């Protein structure tokens, strides 16, 4: 029984890895489950067995990508230069299909669509915890760090949604640059003050992800 369960788990992980690679290379948002199965050398039946539905597979792929992005976060301070490079990456038009998929799944999860269970929890709280931990290491108290992390995530995802809706990469990037200026002011405050509470209205370090 244990070996059988391990084999099932390993088969699922192989399929998921292939789907993530397909999503990264060519995108998967416009593929039916049968088309996706063909693209990764599997079958419609096997994907249904392991993921339950097309939505279940797409959620699993998105969660895997999010986990990989968090794993690549620096352990120490996220500099403005780091944030700027990451924004250039996530705002690249080549990633827009994947990001449209992310927001599509976000909407489906808000509506409680089958296959999206646990999606919202997986793409919100882990990022808040990761970003808050960075801020705590920089000297911010835990309550303020979580509030700043939530604000940072909301601003970045909001700007990405704006970008997808308008296609105005220059305008949205200018807005992000303005946010980075506020972030720099916040970092200067931390460096020059022994106070635990940041000044009102000052955001935390920029959030590098969606």
Q: What is the CATH number of the domain that holds 42?
A: 1.10.10
* Domain end position, chosen among 37, 52, 67: 52
- Cα angle for residues 115, 118, 119 (degrees, 5° grid): 75
Q: What is the 3-state secondary structure (H, E, C) of 131-192?
A: HHHHHHHCCCCHHHHHHHHHHHHHHHHHHHHHHHHHCCHHHHHHHHHHHHHHHHHHHHHHHH
pTM: 0.75
Identify the domain containing residue 130 by its residue range. 54-210
109 and 170 co-located in one domain: yes
How do the pLDDT tens digits run along the chain, 210 residues long?
545 455 567 888 899 999 988 887 777 777 889 999 999 999 999 999 999 888 889 999 888 888 887 777 766 667 788 888 889 988 999 888 888 889 989 999 999 988 888 899 989 999 999 889 888 887 788 998 899 899 989 999 999 999 999 999 999 999 999 998 887 776 677 667 654 454 444 544 545 455
**Number of folded domains in the chain?**
2
156 and 123 co-located in one domain: yes
């Amino acid at each position: 029984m244990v070996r059988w369960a391990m084999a099932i788990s390993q088969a699922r992980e192989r399929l998921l890895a292939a789907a993530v690679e397909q999503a990264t290379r060519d995108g998967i948002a416009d593929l039916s489950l049968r088309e996706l199965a063909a693209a990764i050398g599997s079958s419609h039946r096997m994907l249904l067995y392991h993921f339950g539905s097309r939505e279940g597979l797409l959620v699993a792929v998105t969660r895997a990508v999010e986990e990989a992005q968090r794993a690549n976060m620096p352990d120490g301070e996220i500099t403005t230069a780091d944030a700027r490079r990451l924004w250039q990456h996530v705002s690249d038009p080549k990633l827009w299909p994947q990001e449209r998929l992310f927001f599509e799944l976000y909407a489906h999860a808000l509506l409680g669509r089958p296959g999206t269970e646990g999606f919202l929890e997986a793409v919100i709280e882990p990022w808040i915890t990761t970003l808050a931990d960075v801020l705590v290491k920089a000297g911010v108290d835990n309550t303020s760090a979580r509030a700043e992390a939530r604000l940072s995530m909301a601003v970045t995802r909001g700007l990405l949604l704006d970008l997808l809706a308008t296609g105005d990469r220059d305008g949205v990037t200018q807005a992000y640059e303005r946010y980075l200026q506020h972030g720099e002011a916040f970092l200067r405050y931390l460096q020059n003050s022994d106070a635990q509470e940041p000044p009102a209205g000052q955001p935390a370090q920029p959030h590098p992800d969606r």
